[in-house]
Copies of this chain bind each other. A is one copy, B any other.
């Protein structure tokens, strides 16, 4: 698989123009672009520009509203429910996170559940918004069902990620951004493209048996919750994915479990959907609602240094703090460019032609 390094700014300009072309306001186009490409910068390639044509197809299918009237439909001093009006999750999510942060500024914490939204990019971007205001940020979303709960042969949960971003002082922030499965779907897609086997514990076949067939999802298989099997705690990964689903969708009135709308526009919608769109959940906690921020940051710095300085197993350079790999990649890719597979390049060229937007990738 050939890869080409494309400057970040090239992708920013193209993506912004594309979102403008489908009718997004300038402000929304900039937001959606920034959020989408933050995935490419941070190395979560499955959630970045590789999905751009997928978002456009959802708009073409009438499932994404490019000019949504996003609004709060219920609130208390520390909570809100947001109706995304079928907007891009890339735009709905920052709107909702800002409300969580505003409430945190007012009463210490803010918690926002979102209905009627679409795929929101990486969980991390939204949680990290809180860092600039000396707040802890929390972000989660449900997604269409690819994951089988422990003992189930049916797919009932999405890869339902959780991100928690915690500010530090002199050290960079702690940012844990993770799917609640053993492996993210993007990692499986890489194995599929390369025709490699998957480690046992990532997926099961249609009968629920462990398999190394990376293509098993196409024949009725499923991704496995974090833990992999019952003996290794898969019921915990299942519970985490379930909590994300309930906070994101049962609290907001979105669709949950097997009823979450699929990302590919060609996949038909589930029947008897109980809610509206997909759901997200956001939280913001002001540090100084608990302790003076200077004291907290001093301790966070000590926490981070103690963990990063721990003795390692042979062959490992260092114990990592959550967020370390993504932050390093972000610095690298902002400077050197973002590696795109030929298939993604072709996809972007097709979009460029279709929407008459100039694009020079090489």
Contacts and interface: CB of A to CB of B under 8 A. Distances in A.
Nearest to A258: B306
A289 B201 CA distance: 39
A319 B111 contact: no
A60 to B, nearest CB: 31
A237 B183 CA distance: 12
A285 B153 contact: no
User: In the assembly, how many copies of this chain are there?
Assistant: 2
Interface string A189-211: 00000000001011010011100
A358 interface: no
Contact of A243 (B78, B176, B256): B176
A246 interface: yes
Given A109-B111, A208-B313, A303 B76 contact: no
B111 A233 contact: no
Given A207-B313, A313-B153, A108 B290 contact: no
B149 A250 contact: no
Contacts of A236: 176, 178, 180, 226
Contacts of A113: 290
A306 B149 CA distance: 12
Nearest to A255: B299
Contacts of A258: 306
A186 interface: no
A91 interface: no
Contacts of A231: 199, 201
Interface string A145-160: 0000111111010000
B79 A312 contact: no
Nearest to A183: B233
A319 B250 contact: no
B242 A289 contact: no
Interface of A: 74, 76-79, 81, 107-109, 111, 113, 149-154, 156, 164, 166, 174, 176, 178, 180-183, 199, 201-202, 204, 207-209, 226-228, 231-233, 235-240, 242-243, 245-246, 250-253, 256-258, 274-275, 285-287, 289-291, 295-296, 299-300, 302-303, 306-307, 310-314, 316, 318-320, 322
The 6 closest A-B pairs by CB, nearest first: A208-B313, A76-B108, A176-B239, A151-B316, A79-B108, A77-B107
